[in-house]
Each structure stands twice: as C-alpha cells, then as structure tokens.
Structure 1
Amino acid sequence: MWQLLEPLHAVTYFAPEARAAADAVGMRGFWMGYFAGRAAPLGPVGPGVVTAAFHGFPPARVARALPDAWTFATPGDVLRARLDGAGAALRNLLTDKVTGSDDLRAAAELAWEAAGLADTAGRVLGAANQALPAPDEPHLLLWQAATTLREHRGDGHVAALVSHGVSPVQSHLLKVAAGETDPDQLRLARRWDDEEWEAGAAALRERGWVDDSGALTAEGTRERERIERLTDEAAAVPWRALGDERTSELALLLYPLTMAVLESGVMPPANPIGLPPPPGQDENGRGLTLPAVPSPIS
C-alpha cells in the first residue's frame, strides 16, 4: 500500500506546480518549502522539533529554513499552498481521471477512511495530518489521505530506527548499502558533511552491519530486514481495520493512478525516497497480488 500511495503523495516534492505554489506564498527556495510544507500541520515549530520528527536531516540544514519560513507565511498559508500545488499536479497528471471519475472518488473515500483509522499514539506527523479537515475535491481528498498514511508509516519507521540505535545519517547509509538509492544524490539532498557521513559509516562497520566497501553484511541484512518488518507491522493497523477485501479494492483503484504518476516522469527514477514500482501485472491492476497484512507484533 505504501508503494501505491507514496507516488501520489510525492508529487508535492517533485512536481513544478507544487514548487510554484510554495514560491507564491513566499518560500525562499525548494528546501524552505519542503521543511515548512511537511511541518505546517504541526504549527509554527522551530528547527529542533522538525529535525527530531523528520529524523533524516542535519540540524543546520533544517535551521536554514526554519523558523524563517514563518516570517514569510503562516502555517495555514503553507498548508493551503501545499494542497493547491499537489492538487494542481495531480489534476495535470490525471487529466482523464480527475473530472467525473467514480473510481477516483471511490479511491479517495476508501483512502480517507483508512487514514482516519490510523492509530496515532506516538506518531506526531501522522496525528497532525490526520487532524486536518477533509478537502472537497476527490483528488485533493486522496492526496491528503495518502499524506496522512505515509507520515503515519514514517513515524513508525523512525520509532523502529531509534529502538535499534540507528541515527539519521546511519539510516541513509543503510538505504544506500541495500542498493535502494544513489549515494551521491542522497548526500546532495540531505547535505550531511564528509565528517558526519564517514562517522556514520564507521559506526555501522563497528556494529558489523556493513563491510569495508559499504555493502550490507549478513548481520546488517538481518537487522535491516527486522527494522523494515517492524515498520510494516507498525503501519498495518489502518489496513487491518479496513479489512482485506476493501484494502484490495483500494489497491486496484489506486494502481492506474499511481502508474500514471510514475510513467509521467515527474518523479526521477533515482530519488532519495528509493521507491520501488508497485506490484502488478497490467496497466489496469488486474491480477494485482498484495502481500498479506502483517500480524500485530506479539
């Protein structure tokens, strides 16, 4: 479900319409728009809160954008801009599906229901997005639902990383070691300096999780797979609550929408998210095989 929903959310990072909407309310550059946009549901928070919640950026990187962003626009302004920008992007990418589409409306309503069923205890970004009002138009409703569900999943992933003693920079190095993303692009996007990057790599080598080439060892593979399994288990509550049949129905409705976004090229193939393509057999999602929803952690 993450593979199906994430591309719909991620237009807010990659689509030119989203950047234009952020610029229009006063954001100075992409990264100010990024940090303010993701943080806006929390209110006018400072860099310390955002660094902690996002668990992926050097504090100095965040401090270049916040709290200055709130001198140019209020969190409410930024929330409207991010919804307008993502909505414009999806309207352009899904031109034949946005207007008068029963399938889009059905997908949006199921996704919104799932987002409302997400458990938010200890999940700050998930809870803040879940508390936002429902947009009227189906493509906007779908985008906000996808955003709530991905932030809910991300909060659980951060908890799994922290419980395993994985620092922000080490989490990126593990993603690189697993071959999920390009190391040069990831370093450019996150802007960890050479000393911090190498210190993280040295710590993973000491733990026996990566070898001298930076590749995962057998132990590192086991530990990373455990973190990913715990992430999936922590993210499973909305899908268990929605039920297998309705979750599968949503997956089939999402598949052509997600593929339209991916095939548009708006998301570069190599990106910091490291998103794999969704599972499926044909362009209509027929024969789509979904993994079983994980059982609760025992």
Structure 2
Amino acid sequence: MDVRQLWLRFEPYHDVTYFTPESRAATDALGCQGGWMGYFGMRAAPLGAASPELVTAVFYNFAPRKVARALPDAWAVATPAAFLEARLRGVDGALRRLLGEVDTPEIAELASLARDAALAAPIAGRPLAAANRALPWPEEPHLALWHACTILRESRGDGHVAALVAHGVGPCQALALYAREHSLDPAYMRAARGWSEEEWEAADVPGDLAAVERATDEAARAPWEGLGAARTSRFVDLMTPLALRIASGNEAMRVNPMALDPVRELAVPGWNT
C-alpha cells in the first residue's frame, strides 16, 4: 500500500479549505486583513484562540514573524467558532463549484469510507488531528468527506512534524531541502513561509529528508490498515476522479509549496504495490 498515493487523493479535497475564491470571500466577510490572516484563523481555529507561539510550533515550517502578523489579531476579528463556520461555508461553495454535483451516491459512499479511515487515524501526540476530530461531523456527505480528509491530512502532517523533529531537521531547513529536491524556486518558498534570505542560507544544510519521508509514510499507514485493503481500494477508485477534477480546476494546485501535482502524479501506476 503506497500511502503517499493515498495522500495525493485526499489532499486536493482538503486543500479547498484555504486557497479558493470562496474561502477568501468567507474570511474577508469576517473582516480579515489579507488571505494569510484567514488561513491562520481557519486552520488554527480547532485549537481555540491559540497563541502565535503555539501555532508556530504545530504548523512547524512557518517563520514565527509570519504567524505573528496574523495571530492573535485574527481572534479580535472573529472568534474561533466564527472561523470554523466561515471555513465550512467556503469549502461548501468551492466544492459545489469545482465538482458541480455533490449529492451523489459515490460521494455518500466515499464519506462513509473516509470517516472510518479518519476514525482510525492516530491522534496521540498529533494536536491538529485531535483538535479537528473533536469537532462535530457535518451532516451533508460532501462536507463529511471533507472533514474526514481534513483529519487524515492533519494526522499525516502531525506525523511529518514528529519525523522532522526526530531526524533533527528544522523548520526552515526542511523547506530548503524540499525546495532543492523538487526544484522549487527558493524565493517563492521563502515568501510562502516567511523566512528571510539570510535565514534560508543558514538553514540550507544537509539533512536526511528521504528518511523523514519514509517515517512520515510509515506513521500514516494506520487509517488504511484500519479500513482494510478492499475498502481502501474502493476509496481510491472513487476518490481519484474527484481529486483530478479538483486539482484541474483549483488554481492553487498550479504552484504550491508541497510540489503537489495530482494531475501528473495520479497517473503513476502501482499505487497498491
């Protein structure tokens, strides 16, 4: 079971949370000053009115000053509960636009599969996964599927942070290594996460990123082992066309700090070898 191929299928569905016109409109309506305040407010809201120090720690690869430009000011703009409502409105609008029809038997089946996988995802030592799992499940299947994908995504992300820490790879160093490995523009990566050129150059030192990725994948197996091979295969069959449709229609997937290219990568055979 190639858990990275599974990640490629649920990550695009989750990513509509932040980087779509509907998401931006929802946080602008709250009074946010810029897209990044909306991003930090929506993603951190499951933690409550978290401090910038806490958010910097759990998000890991953002420069502290970038987080501090958005938090705690975001909590003066709107409560965490209001940010949670806004992100759900944005997700609903984005999915309806990108998918067209969301009231389908396939999405209802996917929501059930993904929920069972998400409930099998580890949350011990994984604060973002635990905080999202504690939220109420949306009733509509396309939103329940999004909620499950969000738990799966944050569980994997929390595990990735643990792997980085265990292998001694710092926040800026991880970005520099990843940018070099995936031929990403260093200037773009620095701007996306708020690091200075001097900080980047100081952090651009060797590190075993391949070992980190292996540890991340290994720590992300539990949801799919819990779901079982047959139901995981069914999840892949149903989720692949949705991921491709979203990735093709979401401009944020063109360039992103994760070097995520589902349109290209989902064509790679052998996901279950």
Please tell me the TM-score bracket, short chain as reference.
over 0.9
- Which of 238, 253, 256 is matched with 2:223 structurally? 238
Moved over 3 A (4+): none
Q: CA deviation at 1:182?
A: 3.0
Match of 1:290 in 2: 271
| In structure 1, C-alpha distance between the alignment counterparts of 2:260 and 2:85, rounded to whole Å | 26
SS in 2 for 1:184: helix
Match of 1:285 in 2: none
- Which of 17, 30, 45 is matched with 1:12 structurally? 17
Match of 2:266 in 1: 279
Task: Give ranges in structure 2 of 5+ residues lacking alignment.
Answer: 1-5
| In structure 2, C-alpha distance between the alignment counterparts of 1:187 and 1:59, rounded to whole Å | 13
Match of 1:131 in 2: 134
Q: CA deviation at 1:180?
A: 5.6
1:100-137 deviation line (CA, Å, top 9, x unaligned): x1001111111111111111110000110111111011
CA contact (8 A) 1:248 1:290 kept: no
Match of 1:152 in 2: 155
- Which of 253, 272, 275 is matched with 2:238 structurally? 253
Q: CA deviation at 1:266?
A: 2.5
Match of 1:225 in 2: 210
CA contact (8 A) 2:10 2:239 kept: yes
Q: Identity across aligned pairs (percent)?
A: 51
Q: CA deviation at 1:276?
A: 3.2
Q: Which has the larger radius of gyration?
A: 1
Aligned length: 266
- Which of 166, 170, 182 is matched with 2:169 structurally? 166
Q: CA deviation at 1:194?
A: 1.6
- 1:197 matched to 2:211? The reply is no
* Residue type of the alignment partner of 1:162: V
* Residue type of the alignment partner of 2:266: P
SS in 1 for 2:257: coil
Higher relative contact order (CA 8 A, sep 6+): 2
Cα 1:122–1:109, aligned 2, differ >3 Å: closer, same or farther? same
Cα 1:181–1:144, aligned 2, differ >3 Å: closer, same or farther? farther
Q: CA deviation at 1:75?
A: 0.4
Match of 2:65 in 1: 60
